């Protein structure tokens, strides 16, 4: 390791800080370190820092010679035990300028983030995979997972973004399932949320509540209906959706871009063709709206989505550790 860099680290609360110059500096820093395959924009960062119920954040910024040379974003969630059932907090991002890497700054930023999360009563910390994630984990191709394992983290899963060109979408042979699938309408908000509270009461329920509370478009959800009501849903992302398509790094795919996920059906409906019908309906809707490059993000179901024409696009290593008490 080269000699340690002298950089001052300040902690900023995104809920109270004037963010415009910080957003620009953070965006430029990220793009310097991770571009061109995973570039971000200031609107993307701004979306990820929007307030959500129970969420607290700290952005740790390292400056040297008048410029931002490192940053770490830590997030904790209070009052939602079904979302944080393991007491976890998140390091949503940790970026160091290439010119000053391997000089101890990343470790200092990580230490600051961990101390703050411990003070928020988090019992564990996960790299990426937060409530508004920049990535599900450490991008495998970057090799950065090695830094975290050397810092006491354990890799517990590899997940994939998968991608397909929907221009000529053709589904596989599907089992007939007694259901209909259609976009949600204004009168279906309660049906959607009742389904999620029953079947996916943790993260997916919370994320849907926050999306709709933040002016997200209800019609971006597809609902699967059976004789008893809503038994499945999936969320679609279009170029004009409130949640930005840039979150899924589709830049190597043909435009227009789209995304599908999360997607799920009632527990007692699984393995009977309902999920495949829901997936097909979502992909058909994206295709019929002119979407070409499509991402299904953060999944281990490689074989399932492969049957619908999707291939591995980008891998992430999910890492975590227990925080000292």
Tell me how far apart the alpha carbons of residues 220 and 16 are, in angstroms, rounded to a whole number: 31
- Residue ranges, the chain, pLDDT below 70: 1-2
Token pair belonging to 217: 């478009």
What are 166-215's pLDDT values in tens digits?
999 999 999 999 999 999 999 999 999 999 999 999 999 999 999 999 98
What residues form DSSP beta bridges with 221?
Answer: 235
Query: pLDDT value at position 18?
Result: 81
Question: Cα dist. 261→11, 61, 166, 232, 299 in Å?
Answer: 33, 32, 15, 12, 9
Query: pLDDT value at position 6?
Result: 83
E-only strand ranges, the chain: 8-12, 55-64, 67-77, 88-96, 124-127, 138-139, 154-165, 180-183, 221-226, 229-237, 257-265, 293-299, 311-322
Query: pLDDT value at position 222?
Result: 98
Query: pLDDT value at position 234?
Result: 98
Can you list the domains of the chain with their CATH numbers?
Answer: 8-134 (3.40.630.30), 163-314 (3.40.630.30)
């Amino acid at each position: 390791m080269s000699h340690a860099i002298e950089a001052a680290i300040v902690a900023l609360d995104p809920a109270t800080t004037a963010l415009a110059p910080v957003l620009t500096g953070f965006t430029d820093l990220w793009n310097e370190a991770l571009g061109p395959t995973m570039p971000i924009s200031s609107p993307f960062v701004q979306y990820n820092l929007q307030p959500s119920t129970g969420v607290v954040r700290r952005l740790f910024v390292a400056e040297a010679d008048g410029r931002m040379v490192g940053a770490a974003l830590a997030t904790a969630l209070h009052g939602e035990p079904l979302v944080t059932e393991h007491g976890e907090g998140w390091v949503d991002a940790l970026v160091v300028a290439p010119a000053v890497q391997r000089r101890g700054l990343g470790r200092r930023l990580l230490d600051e983030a961990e101390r703050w999360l411990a003070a928020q009563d988090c019992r564990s910390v996960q790299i990426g995979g937060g409530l508004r994630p920049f990535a599900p984990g450490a991008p495998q191709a970057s090799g950065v997972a090695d830094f975290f394992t050397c810092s006491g983290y354990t890799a517990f899963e590899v997940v994939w973004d998968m991608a397909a060109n929907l221009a000529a979408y053709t589904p596989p042979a599907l089992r007939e399932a007694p259901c209909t699938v259609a976009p949600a309408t204004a009168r279906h908000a309660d049906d959607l949320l009742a389904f999620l509270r029953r079947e996916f009461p943790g993260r997916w329920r919370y994320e849907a509540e926050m999306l709709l509370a933040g002016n997200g478009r209800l019609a971006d959800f597809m609902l699967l209906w059976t004789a008893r009501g809503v038994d499945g849903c999936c969320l679609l992302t279009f170029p004009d959706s409130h949640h930005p398509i840039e979150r899924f790094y589709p830049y190597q795919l043909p435009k227009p871009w789209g995304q599908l996920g999360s997607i799920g059906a009632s527990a007692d409906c699984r393995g009977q063709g309902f999920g495949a019908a829901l997936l097909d309906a979502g992909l058909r809707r994206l295709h019929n709206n002119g979407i070409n490059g499509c991402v299904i993000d953060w999944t281990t179901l490689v074989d399932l989505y492969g049957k619908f024409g999707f291939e591995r696009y980008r891998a992430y290593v999910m890492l975590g550790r227990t925080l000292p008490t």
